[in-house]
Structure formats: structure tokens, C-alpha cells
Amino acid sequence: MKTLFLALMLGIAGQSVAGVAQEPNPKAPSPATGDIAVTEKEFVAGISGVDKSKIVEQFGEPSKRDDITNPDGKVIASVWHYHYLNTDEKGAYYKTTELDIVDDKVVMVVFMNHDGESSPAVSPEAPPARSTDSDI
């Protein structure tokens, strides 16, 4: 069941809503530090496969952390949220950055223009009308 939950979370995370915010994260590195960049494209390129201990070392503990455990209680995946960490191409901050972590390594990044506490409202589309041709 938890594996199904993880798959669902990763699937939903892929449908990111790109947006911008205004407040910077005080723990964001300066470009001269050589650490993980915070600009959108460089962040995605540099964060994939990074161990979560390096992330905590650079950015501190996440503002929100959801752990997924196996039946033995071992954490097999985590969803971490940071606020005002990354900037878009124009330099405006995203309100939330989500890091999906499996086996202690980052596997997916999602930028959101909301707080990450709830998914944006998604209204399902109506199914296409079915043909009721009785001449067949």
C-alpha cells in the first residue's frame, strides 16, 4: 500500500505548477560558494542523485517532511518541502520546492507557486461523448 502511495505521490509531483513568489530563503547559497545552485535549471541539473545529508547541510531541515516506510519501519522514500529556495529564469522565487527522495537520493524536483500543503484544485474533464450509432 505504501508503494502505491509513493507511486501516486511521484505521479502527482510530476504535474508541477510553475509560479513565482517574492521572498528569498536566507539559507540559499551565493553563486560563489560552489554549492548546489538555486536557479531553476541549474538546481535541477545539480540536485539529481544528491544525498539528503548534503541537502540538509546546505539548506537546513525541510519545512515539511513526509516519510514513507516499509512494514519494518525503515524509511524508503521521503517528500521534502522548502520555501523560497529556487528562482525562475527572471529571478523571482518559487513559493515551494518539493524534493522527492528515494534511497536517500533526490529523484525528482517540483516547483510550486503554492505552499505545498494541498494540491491545487483540479477539475476533472468530462469524458468524450460516445457515438450511439444504431445503424451499425
How do the pLDDT tens digits run along the chain, 136 residues long? 455 444 444 444 444 434 434 455 544 444 434 478 889 999 999 998 899 899 999 999 999 999 999 999 999 999 999 999 999 999 999 999 999 999 899 999 999 988 766 555 543 343 444 445 555 5
Annotated domain spans of the chain = 2-112
Task: Tell the burial category of 55 from Cβ atoms under 10 Å away from its Cβ (0-12, 13-18, 19+).
Answer: buried
